[in-house]
Each structure stands twice: as C-alpha cells, then as structure tokens.
Amino acid sequence: MRSSRVPQALTCGLAVLLVAACTGDPELPEPGPEEEPSPVPTVFDGEAPPGIEGEVLRYLHGDTADVHEILADPLGVRISPVGDALLISSGSEDRHLLHDAATGETLWEGEARFGGFDTDRDGERVLLMAEADGAPFVLDARGERLWEPAEKGDAYLDGLAVRRPGGWSSQEPHGAFSLLDPGGDELWSYEFEAPPGPEAEEGSEEAEDTEPAGDASEESGEGVGEEPDLGVPVAARDGLVLLASGGPTLHAYSVDPDAGADSDTDTDGAAAGDELWTVDGGDADLGLPTSAPVPAPQVIGFYPLPGSEGGSAPEEDPGEGGEDTGGDGETAAGEDGEVLLLRWAQSETPSMLSAHDPETGDLLWTLEEPGANPVVGPFEPAGVAGSLYDDTTGTLLLPQAGGEAPVVAIDLAAGEVLWGLEEDAGAISPAFAFDGLVYGDSRASTGGDRQLVLDAVTMDVVEDEMPAYVEAVTESGHAVLVQGRQRFVYGPPPEDGEESGEPSDGATGSPGAAD
C-alpha cells in the first residue's frame, strides 16, 4: 500500500511559516537610498595590447560618447572589420552602420539583412546585403553600392555577376551562362554542355561520315571534337574566372574586357572567353591516390604573399641571410606574388593541398593535410569557413575535420605546416590575424575564458594577460578594444586632410591614464 508522505523539506518550510505567524510580522530592513549604476568608463586604463599602435581616438558608449545611436542598442551590437572601416550591426534588428575607423565618419547606414563577406576582383573585402524583400546588393568598404542584380536571379561572385540557366541546380549544372561586370554589361557568354551519352556518341560517329566539308565549326577554327572545356563559375580574381567542370579539372578563362589595350590584369592580353590554363587532378605531379576516383578540386582562395602588391612587407631576418623558402629562388607565384590554393578531399583519407600560380596554373607545391576533410560539392564557391590569413607572414590557419589538430598553420610560400592547435587541457579558437599575430580565445577545461596573442609563425604565446579584449582590427591598424563596459577605438590618428569630428571627452587622453 502506497503511503502519502510530505517531503521533509516541505514540512520544515511549513514549520518555519507557522513559527513566523505566531511571533508576528518580521521586522523589515529600512529601504536604503537607491544605488545608481557606476558610470561607464571613458578613459582607457593600461597599455594597448600587442600589435596595436597609436592612441585612443574615441569611445563608443555612454552619455558623453559622440557616436551614432545604434551603439546604444539595448541588445548590444556586433563589430566586424571591413577594409579600413568597421561594420556595426544591431543586436535587435536588421540594421547596420559602416563607420570610418580613423575619423568616426558614418560611411553608410541602413536597414538590410547582412549575408556575410565576399571580395571584389582585386581581393578587397565587400559586404553581401539584402533588402527587406530579399533583393541582394553589395557594398564596398567605403559604403558605396558596388553591385545589384541587373536581372532577377543574377548572383554575385568575387566582383562579377553570374547569370545561370533558368532552374539551375548542382544536380543539373549545364546550360547557358553569362558573366557580367558590376554595372551589368556582359563580359562573356558560353554554353556549358552536358557530356554526350552512349547514344549520342554512336550518332556522332554516323554523322562524321555524312557531314559536308566547310561547316561552321571549321569556319570558326574549331575542329570536330575540339569543343572547349567549360564549367560553372566558382571563383574570380582580376581578369580571370575559374570554371569547375564537376570532375577533376578546373579551368581558368579570361574575362578581361580591356584585352589588347593597356590592361593591368594578368591575362597577357587574352580576350574575354579565351582559355588561360587547366588544372587536372589526374596530373602525376599532384600525387593524388590512384586507388579511388580522382576528386573534384575545392577552391580555398587566392592569397597575396608577403612583399607582393596585395600583401604586407615581409619582416627581414638578418640571421637567415636572405635564405629563400620558395624552392626555386624566384617569386613563388609569378610577378604579383599570389597563390591559388586548392584542396583535393577524399573520404576517410588525408586530403591534399596544391598551390598554383594564378597567371599560368603552374604547380608550386603540394602538401598532405594531417587528416581527412569533408568532400564538398564540385560547384561550391571558394573558401573554407573559419580560415584566417596573415599576409604579413604568409601564414594560413586552416581548420581540419580530421587529425589531431583542429587547426593547422601553413606557410603558403614554402608549402609547410608550421604548427597545429592540438586538443589538450584547453582549447584555443583563433578569431583573427593581423600583422604577424593571431588573436584567439582560450577556453580552459577548468573554466574561465580569456584572450591571448600568438606568434603566427612559431605559435609562441606573445601575451596571455590582456589589458583589454581586442574585438576587431582594420587593415589600417585601427582596433576596437573592450575594457569593462566600454569600447575604445585605438589606432593611428587621421592623416592630414582626413575629416575628423570633435573628439569625445577623454578620448585624446593618455592611453595609460586611469580613472
């Protein structure tokens, strides 16, 4: 028989209430004066973190902050670097502000959905945005509208617009494609034809016996069976576009509208639609396993090496005596010092990286990764989520799905693994890289999170007791430092000729001063 029993904790609580009832109302403490919240600090306390130079330019919160109202959002804001500017995003609505880091000037503001980052044809970072009705548009780092679709369905790709066949899908990838410049002018159109089936091949053999001489294919200079190798656009840079065939080949074609003139692109005067080069996974120099079908290459991206036009100047090491790590004594990736990085992934086996000269497609080096990585679709756009690149040292931090290290650092000039973030008592999540340093969040197994700074080449800890949290750093070296309940913009002051608003109270004080 089940007995009804009141829990002991409840009976004790009832007893306390009964005693209180018998002894009268308890004496309540007299209400004290209302405690006002402490003011938001307006003076930066301590020295700037490693890699951050300059002075405090302004603070972003509080009644005396001379900033846009979005920074008072009740749900907070998110801040990301875009070129020399800062993207400030509301935490409560689809509202964004592009803020000049040096001057504090508002470059652009509006209500739109933020879809992430991409690049233009020069490799500069741009913003993917969408109106309330879903119509996409792209902003550059100065807030100028770089692109919007000329026709419904046009898609942005690294500074180009791609017009795909109606109803296009990765399962049905063939059809008519057009590549447009940001203004909507056509650069090149082509037909990506499906490979012939067995019946079509039999029919073509019969047609060869009856085909009259002097047909259109001969007039155009293309012989029978010499159709160009084409594909789906997956990446672009300068005057070339990369077409993925769906198989183990990747083709580079010119989309240079100024071919034959004084073009500053790397297509050697090739007209739009001219084939530049092809990378074939079956090439023995790649060294891919032959025990399984050759995979389709995944485009990781284009990367400027130190000392190139798009990269930072390399730091000289007098102890090395100018020793070259590129292998051939020349610039590792052509005159512009840039590399194209591809990944060849197969299930359950370590994936392979290959670096190529974007001008010629020539193989620079190959490197087996520590473990297996996901096999992505053959027509996926370029990039790997979570990868970081430091152009000062030419170090790429590349996430790994397999192996002992979830992230490895790769020297893109030499094609070598420098170090790996292996799982141990704690975990480090790299957030961004700047000027030879990697800023990451450390989560210890014993609890407690902190930010630390690593050397990008050696993985040595540069600083693990940070005076402030580095939230973002722009290409110009301006940083957002979080200290207490305040954000400070720290960096080089505006150059002569740049507009600068009135500084906020305390913004120009010594960064080492205390409250």
Q: What is the DSSP string of 419-438?
A: EEE--SSEEEEEEEEETTEE
Tokens for 140? Answer: 């550059």
Task: Quote the distance between the C-alpha of residue 471 and its chain's center.
Answer: 16
Contact 51, 454 (CB under 8 A): no
pTM over 0.85: no
Our CA angle for 194, 228, 334, nearest 5°, is 125
Delimit the domains of the chain by residue range. 55-193+229-257+272-306+336-491
Q: Cα–Cα distance between 488 and 504 in angstroms, integer?
A: 11
Nearest to 50 by CA among 443, 422, 397, 477: 477
142: left (phi over 0), alpha (psi -120 to 50) or beta: alpha
- Indicate the burial class of 194 (C-beta count within 10 angstroms; 0-12, 13-18, 19 or more): exposed
Q: In sequence order, what DSSP letters do the residues of 461-495 get, joined into one string?
A: EEESS-SSEEEEE-TTS-EEEEETTEEEEEEPPPP
Phi, psi of 72 (to 5 degrees): -100, 15
Percent of the chain having pLDDT more than 90? 65
What are the residues whose beta carbons fall under 8 Å from the beta carbon of 395, sequence distance 6 or more?
389, 409, 410, 411, 412, 418, 433, 456, 457
Q: Across all residues in the chain, what is the average pLDDT?
A: 82
Q: Measure CA of the first residue to CA of the last residue in the chain; give whole Å.
A: 71
Q: Cα–Cα distance between 205 and 218 in angstroms, integer?
A: 18
State which H helix or E strand residue 9 sits in: helix 8-22
**Amino acid identity for residue 238 in this structure:** D
Q: Cα–Cα distance between 314 and 414 in angstroms, integer?
A: 14
User: What's the pLDDT score for residue 35?
Assistant: 63
Nearest to 288 by CA among 367, 229, 221: 367
- Strands 275-280 and 298-304, bridge-based pairing: unpaired
Say which residue the tokens 């009856």 belong to.
210
Q: Cα–Cα distance between 34 and 50 in angstroms, integer?
A: 41
Four-residue CA torsion sign, 256, 258, 261, 266:
negative
Tokens for 371? Answer: 């473990």
Contact 479, 491 (CB under 8 A): yes
Task: Quote the distance between the C-alpha of residue 335 and its chain's center.
Answer: 25
55-193+229-257+272-306+336-491 is a CATH 2.130.10 domain = yes
Contact 435, 52 (CB under 8 A): no
User: What's the pLDDT score for residue 252?
Assistant: 98
User: What's the pLDDT score for residue 226?
Assistant: 52
DSSP 401: S
User: What's the pLDDT score for residue 196?
Assistant: 80
Nearest to 265 by CA among 239, 293, 227: 239
Low-confidence ranges of the chain (pLDDT < 50): 1-26, 28, 204, 207, 210-225, 261, 263, 316-332, 425, 500-515
Strands of 347-436 (E only): list them. 349-356, 363-368, 388-390, 395-399, 407-411, 416-421, 426-434
| Tens of pLDDT, residues 155-185 | 999 999 999 999 999 999 999 999 999 999 9
Tokens for 82? Answer: 């875009």
> In the chain, count of helices (H) and strands (E)?
3, 32
Tokens for 14? Answer: 């009832």
